[in-house]
Structure 1
Amino acid sequence: MNKSLARICALSAALGLTLLSASAHAGDLKKGQSLVASHGCMGCHGAGLDKPVTPAYPVIAGQPESYLFHALQQYQSAHQTPIYGRDNAIMAGMVATLSTQDLHDIAAYVASLPTPLYAPDMTH
């Protein structure tokens, strides 16, 4: 009985830490919107971040939040780890001074936007 109770307590603690960690990095849509505006993202990716000024730039509106966050992180670390980073001087400069939370905020906001890209409904 004591081993079962100990296991339940350990699992509860682990779950609590996981949830706390996830909420600590949850993106704030309003902050993300402000950061997108102040960092000039629309200058290259278009007003709704869905019509880039050149086909060389991606449509980022509505992309998955985790993809956006990791892409931004890779632009930030390109100079440190060129093998794993995304080597783009423009993007590296745009994200150089942003915090991890800023990246989460931007990713959450951009992911919330409507997208012209096709995304299959995988819920059925």
Structure 2
Amino acid sequence: MTKRPLAIATTCALLLGLAACGKSEPAAEGAGHKTANKHINAFDGDAARGEKLAATKLPSGQSCVDCHGTGGLKPIDAATPIIGGQYQDYLFHSLQHYREGKRDHALMTMQIKGAFDAGTLDEQGIADLSAYFAAQSGPLGDLHGK
């Protein structure tokens, strides 16, 4: 037995693996920013698209800004958090967790899961919303230098 067939098989497997991990181009932009096999992370969002999405009525008839206020800075009541200026990855993962049922809130779970199930919010939309709210100059800060 020679080592050549094993080397060829190993090389083919590595090439197939690299091809599978490569980035794919997003599909044409539309209502849900559908993407084909593209991994979206917390920092892939577009704040300008997120601003528009934040004001868009979801299937429930409400938008993000109806409760959190423009820029996420003026919530409708003390029970609604200020999300403007919050960490982008925190917002991204929180929205994912509402969608997946890993985080539960009577209104937010229904809003995010409902929008996702209806096709009006996808992973890119979650990233866009996170980018928009994180880009705001809010009252949140860390304890650096305190």
- 1:49 positional shift: 1.1
Asked if residue 88 in structure 1 is aligned to residue 70 in structure 2, the reply is no
- 1:114 positional shift: 0.9
Q: 2:137 aligns with which of 104, 114, 120?
A: 114
The one-letter code matched in structure 1 to 2:106 is A
- 1:24 positional shift: 5.6
Determine what percentage of the aligned residue pairs are the same residue.
Answer: 37
Give the secondary-structure state (helix, strand or coil) at the position aligned to 2:109.
helix
Name the residue aligned to 1:52.
75
Gaps of 5+ in 2: 1-17, 25-37, 58-62
Give the secondary-structure state (helix, strand or coil) at the position aligned to 2:79.
coil
Tell me which structure has the larger Cα radius of gyration. 2
Give the secondary-structure state (helix, strand or coil) at the position aligned to 1:108.
helix
More helix by share: 1
Give the secondary-structure state (helix, strand or coil) at the position aligned to 1:44.
helix
Give the secondary-structure state (helix, strand or coil) at the position aligned to 2:74.
coil
After TM superposition, the score normalised by the length of structure 1 is 0.68
After TM superposition, the score normalised by the length of structure 2 is 0.59
- 1:121 positional shift: 5.0
Map 1:56-71; keep pairs closer than 5 Å. 56-71=79-94
Asked if residue 36 in structure 1 is aligned to residue 62 in structure 2, the reply is no
The RMSD of aligned alpha carbons is 2.6
The one-letter code matched in structure 1 to 2:112 is V
Q: 1:92 to 1:104 in 2, by over 3 A?
A: same
Once residues 141 and 134 of structure 2 are traced to their aligned partners in structure 1, the CA distance between those partners, rounded to angstroms, is 14
**Number of equivalent positions:** 100
Once residues 73 and 92 of structure 1 are traced to their aligned partners in structure 2, the CA distance between those partners, rounded to angstroms, is 10
Once residues 24 and 77 of structure 1 are traced to their aligned partners in structure 2, the CA distance between those partners, rounded to angstroms, is 17
